[in-house]
Amino acid sequence: MTYFRDVGALARKDLLLELRARDTLPAMLLFVAAVFVVFHFALPGTPSRLETTGLLWVAILFTALLGLGRAFVPEREQRTLDGLVLAPCDRSAIWLAKSLATLAFLAAAEVVALPLYALFFHRVSGAMVLAVVLADLGICAVGTFLGAMAVATRARDLLLPLLFLPLAIPIVVGAVGASVITPPGRYLGFLALYDLLFAVVCWASFEYVVSE
């Protein structure tokens, strides 16, 4: 159980930092609102529910990228990553804690984004909310992992979207399918499977990303 205590402590540290500095979450909130407004002007006329669903997922993905890009950058800049790696805990705990913290930011952004979507475009169905929850898990698990990889490179966070988007395509397929097709069971199951599969891969291989 010390593993989960470590994870809890590390995640609490990230949340506390965000609470004090407040630089990631407000940026994500403003970004998602701005993206909706841009989309309104980018789609002439009255867009159908199908079109706006696709748009919602593009907005969520890009907002997530914004948060994911920030996840490991401060650790690198302030050279705290070495300290984390040296801490007497399993290395995968670092990944899990970061994923949880990013998940919290993304969920907070979506708590605002989904009502805003309903206000601007079309109503949000229950299946859509479920899809958002399942997709968030996958986005944060894979995205945080790739974020840690990206900060180890010279290109830093420039590389993250390139690494992440090909891996996010199955998430988009599952999420959009669950949002527009009834019954959404198959797509939700696919999302859950994706989450499970990639969470295991990330959990098992994170050690190699942070250590040499």
Q: How far is the CB of 89 from another protein (least distance, A)?
A: 20
Q: How far is the CB of 17 from another protein (least distance, A)?
A: 26
Dihedrals φ, ψ of 211, to 5°?
Answer: -115, 165
Q: How far is the CB of 1 from another protein (least distance, A)?
A: 28
Write the Ramachandran bin of 156: left for phi over 0, alpha for psi from -120 to 50, otherwise beta.
Answer: left
Select 89 or 142, whichever has its Cβ closest to another protein: 142
Select 36 or 147, whichever has its Cβ closest to another protein: 147
For 64-101, letters b (16+ CB in 10 Å) and e give bbbbbbbbbbbbbeeeebeebeeeebbbbbbbbbbbbb
Select 15 or 90, whichever has its Cβ closest to another protein: 90
Select 28 or 81, whichever has its Cβ closest to another protein: 81
Contacting residues toward another protein, per CB under 8 A: 149, 152-155, 159, 162-163, 165-167, 169-170, 173-174, 177, 186-187, 190, 194, 197-198, 201, 205, 208-209, 211-212
Q: How far is the CB of 127 from another protein (least distance, A)?
A: 15
186 near 177, Cβ under 8 Å? yes
Cα first-last separation, the chain: 27
